[in-house]
Amino acid sequence: MVTAAGSSRADVLVRHGRVERVEAGLSNLAEGGSAEVVDATGSLVLPGAVDVHTHTRVATDAEPDRFFQDSVAAAFGGTTTFLAFNNPGTGSSPAAERSLLAGLREWRAATEHDSAIDYAVSLAISGRMDDPVAELPAMVDEGVSTAKAFMVFDFRLDERRLYEALRTLGARGGMLQVHCEDPVLIDTAVADALARGDTAPQFHATTRSTEAEAVATHRVMAFAHAADVPVHVVHLSSAGALRHVREAKALGVRAHAETCPHYLALTDARYGARNVDDVAQCVISPPLRPVSDQEALWAGLADGSLDLVATDHVPDRMAVEKADACRGISFDRISNGAPGIETLLSITYSEGVAKRRLTIERMVELLATSPARLFGLDRKGAIEVGRDADLVLFDAGVRRTLRASSLHHTSDYTPYEGFELTGAVRSVFVRGRPIIRDGTFVGDRGYGRFVERSVAGT
């Protein structure tokens, strides 16, 4: 059994969906036949992963199964709780883009009784909203203690309102998540590239520099310092941005940051592919970076400068959302994002633990314990008495090749096609109930509960 604090041989007693005891020698409790015994011999027993960054899309009349299907995919990958955003493109209505609280009501209604595992929401604060800052206290009171602001894109939040949101949310016990890229540098670079005729997908990466990410991250750190509130940098991808987070932490700023499996496993070499579709698969923001940045991220995970790993899952399809890339549309019009909800644990274990970049205990902290703590999921993230019995049986001895055809998400590709992986999820339990058993889905649609969250950023 593995926790962030250490590993040991032990039995776990689960009653009414929660961990009741964790100690050796509990097998005698099952001798009377009243308890089910799950034999985990040969497996690591891990707390279920907590993915705090997904853009999982809600069901529509045309695609009624997409939220449920991605929740099943998460379970197959060892994730037992996920957070989703309701930003444009995830199924939100025009009303949701005007009001945080309208968006919350709409999202909860759309997702109720639709997930196989537990889930929560982080609301997207759009620059198009009427008065989102005024709605933040009521949002927190509804059990949603984090929200996300974007510094780029056409629904970006201007810096004054971003600072106000940061202060207001922090004062209420919440935490703002920020997409840190500088709009002046990026908008200028994009306009210049298009004017030169540099319109192919690979120019998406060259117009979103590490400097643009670092400048924006530095500004957000300064805002959090001035306001004395917690802040969370999403999908950090570069050494320059990481340096500003590290410096802020040293000053006592309650600064937190995540990176993503694609930045840990892939590099900007992908943008040199001859096939347009291969490049379009990795049109994400921020883009993939050079090996030097990747090495800095692994070092940041190991030394604590980075707090967690999350997927930034976007269930784009090459046949649908990214289809126009092969037809020659300019890079700025290609849908941003890549799928990853099912591969969080497998990529982090294979590239991190198996290659001795991380200990297994540190991986558990990054994928489960820290995200649960920082995002107010008090019953999640650890195998401890009183916590939800969200458990993963993981076979570390398996060797396999990752193929999109073997995944269960709503996308039609994976950016990790052909990766040689170490380890495989064997079984998954959410609140003590089996969801995946020996590689087969045995859960139910609607079993997953919406989780109201407590104070964030602590």
CATH of the domain at 401: 3.20.20.140
Is residue 222 domain-resident?
Answer: yes
Q: Which domain holds residue 261?
A: 46-441
Distance CA 380, CA 53 (A): 16
Is residue 219 domain-resident?
Answer: yes
Contacts of 105 (CB under 8 A, 6+ apart): none
Amino acid at residue number 138:
A
At residue 213, the pLDDT reads: 98
**CA nearest to 229, candidates 279, 165, 281:** 165
Amino acid at residue number 217:
T
Cβ–Cβ under 8 Å, residues 370 and 294: no
What stretches in the chain show pLDDT beneath 50? none
Is residue 121 domain-resident?
Answer: yes
Is residue 2 domain-resident?
Answer: no
**Percentage of the chain modeled with pLDDT above 70:** 99
At residue 32, the pLDDT reads: 65
- What does DSSP assign to residue 163? H
Is residue 136 domain-resident?
Answer: yes
Residue 378 CA, chain-centre distance (Å), reads 18
Distance CA 194, CA 384 (A): 54
Is residue 358 domain-resident?
Answer: yes
Identify the helix (H) or strand (E) that includes residue 52: strand 49-54
Cβ–Cβ under 8 Å, residues 414 and 343: yes
Q: Per residue in 201-250, pLDDT tens? A: 999 999 999 999 999 999 999 999 999 999 999 999 999 999 999 999 99
Is residue 216 domain-resident?
Answer: yes
Place of tokens 């692994």: 298
At residue 27, the pLDDT reads: 79
Q: From residue 95, how far is each of 58, 107, 126 by CA, in Å? A: 15, 11, 12
Question: Which parts of 291-411 fold into alpha helices (H)?
Answer: 291-303, 344-348, 360-364, 370-374
Is residue 23 domain-resident?
Answer: no
Counting the structural domains of the chain, the total is 1
At residue 33, the pLDDT reads: 67
CA angle 199, 158, 160 (to 5 degrees): 155
**CA nearest to 256, candidates 175, 336, 368:** 175
Cβ–Cβ under 8 Å, residues 88 and 130: no
